[in-house]
A = this chain, B = another copy of it.
Amino acid sequence: MCRSNRLFDLLQTLRDGHLHTAQTLAEATGVSVRTLYRDMETLVASGVPVIGTRGTGYRLPPTVTLPPLTLTPAELEALNLGLAIASEVADPDLKSAALSLTDKLDAVLPETAVAEADAWKFTKNPFANTARGFAQMPTLRAAIKARQKLRITYTSKDGAVTSRTIRPLHMEYMSRVWTLTAWCEWRSAHRAFRLDLINTAEALPELFTDEAGKTLADYRP
């Protein structure tokens, strides 16, 4: 399995929020412990907020990852104004959140040169072909909303191309990769599909409803 797929798998595993030791993760991904430490280094360098504690293991705190956004200057202004107001709010938790977010934006905004330079750090790591698969996004999003089944062709990890009918449930930008969570009717199980590995996606006329065991809430990664 190539490295980027392994990193993706690591993220999927860590997403449960539980504790994982390097030993465990290394065995799960079929790789030496040394390499796993290097992978963790790569994840951290890519901005994934994974936390390693000596003597305990790795844990991934719950976070939301925003993809790169392009803003107009006016939108930027609105953003800053809104955060400025939010940081005046009485609630200390919310206030400090607003302040830390303002810091993050400040760190990212004023000097675009720096931001771009950082952006390339992880492009050097071949982790994300984030933009591939964008073409399918409107189709997928519409199908999720309309609760419409999809027929997709997908390149799996071993390189095999498969065709399957799925019930799209949830689409998310998860740590540098767009992911579609769905119920796969072929495998009769939940699956997380990487958008950049979806070759074609066709909305079927067939609709679906929530069935016990097949909803998003039933998904346990």
Residues of chain A having any CB pair with chain B under 8 Å: 2-4, 7-8, 11-12, 42, 44-49, 61-79, 81-87, 89-91, 93-98, 100-101, 104-105, 107-121, 123-124, 129-132, 137-138, 141, 144-145, 147, 168-173, 175-176, 210, 212, 215-221
Contacts and interface: CB of A to CB of B under 8 A. Distances in A.
Contacts of A42: 123
A91 B137 contact: yes
A4 B141 contact: no
A111 B144 contact: yes
Given A49-B70, A71-B65, A112 B82 contact: no
A139 to B, nearest CB: 9
Contacts of A89: 81, 85
B64 A73 contact: yes
Given A42-B123, A68-B65, A217-B221, A11 B116 contact: yes
- Closest 3 pairs (CB-CB, A-B): A82-B82, A74-B97, A82-B86
Contacts of A169: 112-113
